[in-house]
């Protein structure tokens, strides 16, 4: 029986798409006969669970950890260093017995620990790409940093010492190839929708402040990788100069969500804000709105693939994507688009096009396209 250790950050019921997918991937491998040990984080008490899945076994160690302060970079880096060390310490006894060690980009920089440690462990390292770091940090800056550029060169050198990569998008495959990773070391492994939608899901109540509006939902994390300016300017124009039929529902966390909420409230425009729903209600949330909103800044193409993309397009609801066609967000939406499901892509910066898209979405809800 092949033994696999899988390392990631927050596991359900804590919020985090990487952890949700990790549990799914571990059960999938156990069904193939693997003995899988998943080590991740929890806001609760540390606990160990085991579950038989077909011929295999899933062992899940949830390690108690403090929340991360995303707004403070030094504290975030310190949290990352401490958390990575704690994960590796907790997983060490299973890593010594494992055949394979799979890690993700969440938490960041596990690569920088595992490649040196593998001089001792001598295991097959599998890097399941979530977000690219330090590329995301570099892309978020307005000025160049010699130190970060040097750190990126070190990171690329370390990546070349990994035996296998699992990329979730073709854009990520292209980026890895540009770094000199051999094609035979890269596998394209897309994520499925985070929940299986059966068609029997009961929609959640719509926030009362959006009553009578065509509800556009932004769910998940709205962070620095996601465009805000294009949407904000277009939404304001939609209400000042257009029909004003669309209302924004933020079931989201992140600096972008806070910025959007505060700006729209200051403008007196319809917006509702809530925290991400529990994982058990995710299917109901996905089928509740009239349309879903996805945004991605051009500088983050390939560095980030918003995990919500899979669930948004699988919901059968309309999808508005503000971002580049070079991102796999566009490819996933086009390939997964269902008959009669509106999908609109607008480039970042195209305020006129985005305002027009809001009118199209409102029209499509008023006059649904036949399936």
Q: What's the count of helices (H) and strands (E) in the chain, helices before strands? A: 12, 14
* Topology alike, domains 3-188 and 208-365: yes
For residue 79, pLDDT over 70 is answered with yes
Domain ranges of the chain: 3-188, 208-365
Nearest-5° angle of CA 202, CA 291, CA 250? 85
pLDDT tens figures, 181-203: 999 999 999 988 888 888 889 99
For residue 56, pLDDT over 90 is answered with yes
Inter-CA distances, 171 with 138, 302, 334, 349, Å: 18, 5, 15, 21
For residue 292, pLDDT over 90 is answered with yes
What average pLDDT score do residues 89-105 get?
97
pLDDT of residue 214: 98
Give me the chain's average pLDDT, please: 95
- CB neighbours of residue 33 within 10 Å: 13
Q: How confident is the model at residue 368 (pLDDT cuts 50, 70, 90)?
A: low
Query: What is the gyration radius of the CA atoms in the chain, in angstroms?
Result: 21
119 is written with which tokens? 């001089």
pLDDT of residue 371: 42
pLDDT tens figures, 130-182: 899 999 999 999 999 999 999 999 999 999 999 999 999 999 999 999 999 99
pLDDT tens figures, 238-289: 999 999 999 999 999 999 999 999 999 999 999 999 988 888 899 999 999 9
pLDDT of residue 367: 58
Give 252's strand partners: 220
* 208-365 is a CATH 3.40.50.2000 domain: yes
Contact between 223 and 255 (Cβ < 8 Å): yes
Inter-CA distances, 119 with 6, 84, 122, 286, Å: 19, 18, 6, 45
For residue 296, pLDDT over 90 is answered with yes
* Between 23 and 194, the higher pLDDT residue: 23
Report the range of poorest mean pLDDT among 78-92, 194-208, 224-238: 194-208
pLDDT of residue 370: 45
pTM of the model: 0.92
Q: What superfamily in CATH does domain 3-188 come from?
A: Glycogen Phosphorylase B; (3.40.50.2000)
Query: In percent, how much of the chain has pLDDT > 70?
Result: 98
What average pLDDT score do residues 214-234 get?
97
Q: Calculate helix-pair angle for 111-121, 73-97, nearest 10 degrees.
A: 20
What average pLDDT score do residues 71-97 get?
95
DSSP state of 279: G
């Amino acid at each position: 029986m092949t033994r696999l250790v899988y390392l990631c950050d927050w596991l359900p019921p804590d919020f985090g798409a990487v952890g949700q997918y990790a549990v799914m991937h571990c059960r999938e491998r156990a069904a193939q006969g693997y003995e899988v040990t998943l080590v991740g984080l929890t806001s609760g008490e540390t606990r160990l669970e085991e579950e038989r899945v077909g011929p295999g076994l899933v062992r899940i160690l949830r390690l108690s950890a403090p929340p991360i302060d995303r707004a403070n970079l030094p504290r975030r880096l310190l949290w990352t260093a401490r958390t990575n060390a704690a994960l590796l310490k907790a997983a060490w006894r299973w890593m010594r017995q494992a055949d394979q060690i799979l890690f993700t980009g969440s938490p960041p920089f596990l690569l920088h620990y595992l490649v040196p440690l593998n001089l001792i462990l001598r295991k097959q390292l599998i890097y399941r790409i979530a977000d690219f770091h330090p590329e995301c940090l570099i892309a978020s800056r307005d000025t160049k940093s010699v130190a970060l550029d040097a750190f990126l060169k070190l990171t690329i050198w370390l990546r070349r010492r990994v035996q296998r990569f699992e990329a979730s998008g073709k854009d990520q495959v292209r980026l890895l190839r540009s770094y000199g990773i051999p094609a035979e070391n890269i596998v394209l492994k897309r994520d499925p929708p985070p929940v299986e939608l059966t068609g029997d899901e009961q929609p959640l109540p719509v926030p009362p402040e959006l009553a009578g509006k065509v509800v556009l939902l932004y769910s998940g994390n709205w962070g620095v990788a996601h465009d805000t300016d294009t949407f904000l300017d277009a939404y304001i124009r939609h209400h000042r100069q257009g029909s004003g039929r669309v209302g924004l529902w933020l079931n989201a966390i992140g600096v972008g969500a806070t910025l959007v909420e505060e700006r729209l409230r200051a403008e007196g425009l319809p917006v509702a804000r809530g925290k991400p729903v529990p994982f058990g209600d995710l299917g109901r949330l996905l089928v509740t709105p009239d349309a879903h909103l996805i945004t991605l800044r051009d500088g983050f193409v390939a560095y980030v693939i918003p995990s919500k993309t899979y669930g948004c397009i699988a919901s059968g609801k309309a999808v508005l994507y503000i971002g580049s066609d070079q991102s796999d967000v566009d490819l996933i939406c086009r390939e997964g688009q269902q008959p009669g499901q509106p999908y609109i892509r607008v480039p970042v910066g195209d305020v006129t096009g985005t305002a027009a898209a809001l009118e199209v979405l409102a029209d499509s809800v008023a006059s649904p396209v036949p399936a």
